[in-house]
Amino acid sequence: MFQDERFMSMALTVARRGLGNVYPNPAVGCIITNGGAVVGRGWTLAGGRPHAETVALKNAGGAARGSVVYVTLEPCCHNGVTGPCTTALIQAGVSRVVVAARDPDYRVSGKGVKALLEAGIEVKCGVLQKEAETLNAGFFNSKLLNRPLITVKLATTLDGKISLNKAGSPWITNIFTRRWVHKQRAMNDAIMVGSNTVVKDDPMLDCRLPGLERDSPIRVVIDRSGKLKPQHKLVETASTIPTYVLTDNGDHLRLPNVQYLEVSGGQDFLRSCMRVLTQRLGVTRLFVEGGGILVTELLRRELVDRFIWSRASTISGAGGADAIVNVGLLLGACCEFAKTQSMSFMTDTVEIYDVTYCLQQTSIDTSACRKHRAVGVSCNRDAGFQDQK
């Protein structure tokens, strides 16, 4: 039914407002209609509560009785910090619930729909399911693969370099591209770099778009050799933005306000890091802005889901650092990139790719978790943007 898709599309739109702010919960949107008119809307609020259905029901008030509810993820049916959303919907007297995607959480999966049906509420599932799964790909990953959705961003010159072999601006891409990247930061739970990037660039890794400063993701540094120092900006600002170091060496100096998470070493170190981020911090969406070594290792370990390539119309020439170092993969085990979106910011080009692998090294049944497409966002060109790394 066209009307179902129309209102579910609206629910998906409001759901996006929660991306980067609601982990470990999913970003859910809810639209309530009565007589074909919207009477309530809501989305998951910061910290993951209250849930979208609760917000929308409060917004609708008495108009929720006999209404149709459009929700992007199956309503929860278990008691947590708040009561079940299924109970709230039943008590509000709604007549019909349209669900985009089933919840992969074992506590809910199928049970939420069953509870509504048993209460005599009509339920329809699968409306814009693919779009809903794409939106909450991080939540699906955390439940099905025990790791976050991992997006890698690289900014390069036309000849594939991530640094310029000349004096002057340290930036490769222009200010409009960098503003778009800051928006991506705000839509992720955590941002990761390696210790070499910290030493070389001394980045802040926050979001400085006006109005989104509080949406800066938590910051994560892979540091196995104690390269992070007190004078680095990440350490100096660790009291205001949560900053974590993942390491397999517990003997390094502990820096003030920086939180250390010890991870088992070996060849599976990076995979263990991702598991720790999800299990201990609840991270569902990870944005990686590391250098060539970290990015290559993530690709080698099949730990990249989405790839963002920002390309400037300039040439670095000999001496610039390579974006990707020697991957060293067999031809049959290489990764493949499917372009899902392309956009231009002045002379820069930004392309987004879904990443798949010819051979799966993991025994997890990844068929249960769809390959999700990246969700596009518009560029914020507010002149108040403070430009630095």
Detail the residues annotated as belonging to a binding site: 51, 76, 85, 155, 169, 171, 185, 197, 201, 205, 208, 289
Cite the active site residues.
53
Say which residues have a Cβ less than 8 Å from residue 187's Cβ, sequence separation at least 6: 16, 19, 20, 285, 377
Provide the 8-state DSSP code for 322: B
Q: What are the tokens at 222?
A: 């892979």
- CA dist 371 and 216 (Å) reads 26
Q: Does residue 174 come out as left (phi exceeding 0), alpha (psi in the -120 to 50 range) or beta?
A: beta
Residue tagged 């049970």 (tokens): 111
Please enumerate, by residue number, every residue annotated as part of a binding site for Zn(2+). 51, 76, 85
- Can you give the length of the chain in residues? 389
**Identity of the amino acid at 161:** K
Beta bridge partners of 31: 41, 70
- CA dist 356 and 278 (Å) reads 21
Nearest partner of 193 among 211, 219, 217, 214, judged by Cα: 219
Tell me the three-class secondary structure of 114-174, residue by residue: HHHHHCCCEEEECCCHHHHHHHCHHHHHHHHCCCCEEEEEEEECCCCECCCCCCCCCCCCC
Q: What are the tokens at 101?
A: 């995607």
Decide: residue 337, CB within 10 A, 0-12 exposed, 13-18 middle, 19+ buried: middle
CB atoms within 10 A of CB 39: 18
Cα dihedral value 58, 61, 67, 68, nearest 10: -20
Bond prior to 104 in cis (omega within 30° of 0): no
- CA dist 324 and 259 (Å) reads 29
- Strand ranges (DSSP E) for the chain? 29-34, 37-43, 68-73, 96-101, 122-125, 149-156, 190-194, 218-222, 243-247, 259-262, 285-288, 306-311, 335-345, 348-357
Please enumerate, by residue number, every residue annotated as part of a binding site for substrate. 185, 205, 208, 289
